[in-house]
A and B are shown apart, each in its own frame.
Chain A
Amino acid sequence: MQFKTLLKTLPLLMLAAGLGSAAHAADVKLGLAAALTGPAAKYGVAIKNGFTLAADEVNAAGGVNGNKLQLIIEDEQGKKEEAINVFKKLIFKDKALLVFGPTLSNSAFAADPIANAAKVVAFGTSNTADGITAMGPFTFRNSVMEADVLPVTTRAAVKHFGIKKVAIIYGNDDAFTKSGYDVFKGTLADQKVPVTTTEAYAKGDVDFKAQLTKIKASNPDAIVCSCLTEEAANIILQTRALGMKQPFIGGNGLNSPKLFDIAKGAGDDTIMGSPWSPENLTPANKAFIAAYKAKFGSDPDQFAAQAYDALHVVADALKKIKLSGAIDKDRIALQQALPSVTIEGATGKFAFRKAPAVTGKEVGYDAQQEAIVNIAKGGKFILLK
């Protein structure tokens, strides 16, 4: 145990010595739990980049009320036990003012109760699952739920193509694609669009001909696809191979350049809804994309954009409060300042909205944001006008 503490304190001491007098006590410590290794790393690394970029910007502009922001980044590997351990470390050991993350909704279900019990804000930037913010008043997120995006997408698609009836295909063993399917099902019922047939596949499938043949026989006007990118791309290719020309309608899972790497031109006319688009040319978004490219040498994605915005949301809330230095008080002050924040970020206009009420429980805050509907043309997504 002593050896362990030594192992942990030694690098900290060295770091402190290295920074010397430059590091003053007024640094505001913000924790970030992200999946930097493991299968969810592609999201976690983008999230980390988005946060670092925003924190550097805020600090370069003189910090918040003269205080520099200090990000403490920990890897939670996309595992629930790790997410709990990292949250506890950031809250109890590093005494972070708030914790961003974790990357996956499943990890959030494990880690957010810890933050709520400790009265520390847990701020998710990529948790879209239902019920995350029902866990307590200290849960916040700026990730837009599928339940907000998909109805807008569906309505736009129905209008654009004059759709009368659709078929559905979805992955039934993945939390993200399954909950996307549930939302689509409800949306289609609400908007009175009949469903000709519903087909499912399992993660890792590569041959979808059996499902697609059934869909072909039912002759829909469009195919609703609650899928992740790789599978969606294969489904689109195989649909075209069967001689079907129907357009696809999908959610965030399709929002990746990888879709066109695999499906090429076959993906054209796919309609996709997302909270962020590189084609959305607001000044804030243009500045974000340029700064991201300059710093990391690659194109940003939606996860980086949401992380970037999240830090600016918190910086804005910090401007409104006076830090007392007593961490428990400051944490609660931050929680009370956050809900009133509105910003114009990379993802557009942003505000918080109280989560749907749960009896006998206080709830947190969801994102109140417009979804952007895109259509694929010539191997990339452009805004649907």
Chain B
Amino acid sequence: MDWWDGFWSTYNTVIFSLGVNAMLALSIYVTLSCGLLSLANAAFMGIGAYAASLISMQTGLPFPVALAVGGALPALVALIIGIPTLRLSGVYLAMATLGFGEVVRVVVLNMDITGGPLGLNGIPLKTEWWHIVLLLALTLYILARMRRSKIGRAFEAIKEDEVAARLMGVNVAGYKLLAFVIGAAIAGVAGGLNAHYTFTIGPGNYAFENAVEILTMAVFGGTGSLVGPTLGGMILTLLPEALRDFNSYRAVVNGLILVLVILYLPKGIWDPRRIRHWVKTFSQRKPQAGGSN
């Protein structure tokens, strides 16, 4: 077990990040599955992280309460800003949500309680591995059930054709808002978990770059199902760590892999149709090879 102890103490932060990044990728998957390109998830993650950390640091409330508020506050904010912004679509929505992210960053920067540009330091270490496993499993379960429910079908309909969905009697604005709020809550909880094992948070942790990173995870994995974003978030967390031996070329190799995947697997790594196709061609080839013997 010595081997395991050494491995765990070296890599537990990486393993924690696997789960948290999978949750972040899932949070953007929810909005994407409803046809919304929202880039506000990094900001929601930030709101959740700040809310949860402030509760842990300034009150004696237990960790689950901090996490719950970390999920609820971004959801509330999403509800308020969602009503006007979700009238927009496509790139206009992306721009509006990006703007919202910038507003959050500047507000956090200028508030005293958030520590301004210095951020919050000395956040207690409270996240345990089973918190992450439990919450990721819960997220996956809820989203999987939702996909097969009326809500999931409505999301699908809106994504495929908004006008047709509206004609079918789907409450388009309502469902869009729901997707936005669910996404925000997941991102907020992920933010709260992340803050409680990295000891420090600052306004720079939840900026444009991070919003794009979250989107990349979901798109890299594939947004057709729940497996895609989960895989994408995990692979993109592991990749830089596994490439450590490339030293200064690490970022280049990392980027190269991203480009290759997007070129050859445009629907992400998890693309069941393509996988089925591969399996089929492989199993068709086999008897032929056998026949020649």
Task: Give chain A's interface residues, CB within 8 Å of chain B.
Answer: 4, 7-8, 11, 36-37, 74-75, 80-82, 84-85, 88-89, 92-93, 106, 109-110, 113, 118, 129, 131, 135, 172-175, 178-179
- Among B200, B241, B250, the one with the most A-chain Cβ atoms within 10 Å of its Cβ is B200
Given contacts A89-B10, A92-B6, A110-B199, contact A37 B121 (CB under 8 A): no
In-complex Cβ contact of A81 among B17, B117, B245 (8 A)? B17
B242 interface contact, C-beta 8 A: yes
Q: By the criterion CB–CB under 8 Å, are B122 and A135 in contact?
A: yes
A109 touches B199 (CB 8 A): yes
A37-B248, A175-B118 known; A81 and B110 CB under 8 Å?
Answer: no
Contacting residues, chain B, for A118 (C-beta < 8 A) = 9
The CA of A135 and the CA of B124, in the complex, are separated in Å by 12
- A88: chain B residues at CB < 8 Å are 9-13
Taking the complex as formed, is B244 at the interface, i.e. its CB lies under 8 A from any CB of chain A?
A: yes
Complex Cα distance A80/B200, Å?
8
- Taking a contact as CB atoms closer than 8 A, the residue among B6, B10, B14, B121 that contacts A109 in the complex is B121
Sample of 20 A–B contacts (CB below 8 Å): A8-B244, A37-B251, A75-B248, A80-B198, A81-B13, A84-B198, A88-B10, A88-B12, A89-B10, A92-B10, A106-B200, A106-B202, A110-B198, A110-B199, A135-B122, A172-B109, A172-B116, A172-B117, A173-B106, A178-B116
Bound Cα distance from A130 to B242, whole angstroms: 34
Q: Which chain A residues lie closer than 8 Å to B14 at the CB level?
A: 85
Would you call B13 and A11 a contact (CB within 8 A)? no
Cβ–Cβ contact B125 & A113, under 8 A:
yes
| Contact present for A178 and B118 (CB under 8 Å) | yes
Which of A37, A74, A81 is B198 in contact with, Cβ under 8 Å?
A: A81
Known: A37-B248, A93-B6, A109-B119. 9 other contacts (CB 8 A): A8-B244, A11-B245, A81-B13, A82-B240, A85-B11, A92-B10, A110-B200, A178-B117, A179-B118
Which B residues are within 8 Å of any A CB, using their own CB? 6, 9-14, 17, 106, 109-110, 116-119, 121-122, 125, 198-200, 202-205, 238, 240-242, 244-245, 247-248, 250-251
A80 touches which one: B12, B205, B247 (CB < 8 A)? Answer: B205
Nearest-CB residue, chain B, relative to A179: B118
Q: How far is the CB of A137 from the nearest CB of chain B, in Å?
A: 15
Q: What secondary structure prevails in chain A residues at the interface with B?
A: helix
Q: A37-B251, A80-B198 are in contact. Are A85 and B13 (CB under 8 A)?
A: yes
Kindly list chain B residues whose C-beta atoms are within 8 Å of the C-beta of A75. Answer: 247-248, 250
Cβ of A44 to closest chain B Cβ, rounded Å: 11
Closest residue to B8 on the A side, CB-wise? A92
Residues of chain B lying within 8 A (CB to CB) of residue A85: 11, 13-14, 241
- In angstroms, Cα B241 to Cα A74, docked, is 12
Contacts of A131 in B (CB 8 A): 121-122
Are A93 and B10 interface neighbours, CB within 8 A?
yes
Bound CA span A189–B13, Å: 44
Measured between beta carbons, the chain A residues less than 8 angstroms from B251 are 37
CA A179 to CA B116, docked complex, whole Å: 10
A93 to B10, CA, bound (A): 6
Nearest chain B CB to A327 CB, angstrom units? 12
Contacting pair A174 B198 (CB below 8 A): no
- How far, in angstroms, from A163 to B64 measured CA to CA in the complex? 56
- Closest Cβ of chain A to B203, distance in Å, is 8
Choose from A37, A135, A175 the contact partner of B250 (Cβ within 8 Å). A37
**Distance, CA A11 to CA B56, complexed state (A):** 43
* Interfacial chain A residues near B118, Cβ < 8 Å: 129, 175, 178-179
Q: How long is the Cα–Cα vector from A81 to B199 in the complex, in angstroms?
A: 10
CB B247 to nearest CB in A, in angstroms, measures 7
Say whether B119 contacts A175, CB under 8 Å.
Answer: yes
Q: Is the CB of A109 within 8 A of B13?
A: no
* Measured CA separation A3–B116 after assembly (Å): 43
The docked-state distance in angstroms from the alpha carbon of A184 to that of B218 is 46
User: In angstroms, how far is the closest chain A Cβ from the Cβ of B25?
Assistant: 16
Q: Which residue of A lies closest to B242 (CB)?
A: A4
Which among B106, B117, B247 has the greatest number of chain A C-beta atoms within 10 A?
B117
Select one of A36, A93, A174 contacting B117, CB under 8 A. Answer: A174
Residue on B nearest A107 in the bound complex, by CB: B200
The answer to whether A106 and B198 touch across the interface, beta carbons within 8 angstroms, is no
Q: How many angstroms from the CA of A274 to the CA of B198 in the assembled complex?
A: 31
- Assuming the contacts A85-B14, A173-B117, asked whether A109 and B122 have C-beta atoms less than 8 A apart, the reply is yes
* Inter-subunit contact A175/B109 (CB<8 Å): no
B58 to chain A, nearest CB (A): 17
Are A7 and B245 in contact (CB-based, < 8 A)?
A: yes
Identify the closest chain B residue to A88 (Cβ).
B10
Instruction: Give the residues in chain B near A11, CB-CB below 8 Å.
Output: 245
Closest B residue, CB atoms, query A105: B118
Name the residue on B nearest A10 (C-beta): B245
Residue on B nearest A93 in the bound complex, by CB? B10
The list of the 6 closest CB pairs from A to B, nearest first, reads: A109-B200, A92-B10, A109-B121, A92-B9, A93-B10, A178-B117
Residue of A nearest to B249 (CB): A37
Give CA–CA (A81, B49) in the complex, Å: 15
Please measure, in the bound complex, the distance between the C-alpha atom of A110 and the C-alpha atom of B125, giving whole angstroms: 11
Contact B117 A175 (CB under 8 A): yes
B residues near A37, Cβ cutoff 8 Å: 248, 250-251
- Tell me the complex Cα distance, A74–B193, Å: 26
Q: Chain B residues near A80 (CB, 8 Å)? A: 198-200, 205
Given A88-B13, A89-B10, A109-B200: A8 in contact with B117 (beta carbons within 8 A):
no
B267 to chain A, nearest CB (A): 25
**Could you say which residues of chain A place their CB within 8 Å of the CB of B10?**
88-89, 92-93
Q: How far is the CA of A158 from the CA of B11 in the complex (A)?
A: 52
CB-CB < 8 A to A4: which residues of B?
Answer: 238, 242
Smallest CB separation, B105 vs chain A (Å): 9
Closest to B194 in A: A81
Nearest opposing residue in chain B for A3, CB measure: B242
Closest chain A residue, CB of each to CB of B109: A173
Residue among B12, B202, B241, B247 making CB contact with A175, cutoff 8 Å: B202
Q: What residues of chain B lie closer than 8 Å to A93, measured between beta carbons?
A: 6, 10
**Which residues of the other chain, A, contact B202 by a CB distance below 8 angstroms?**
106, 175
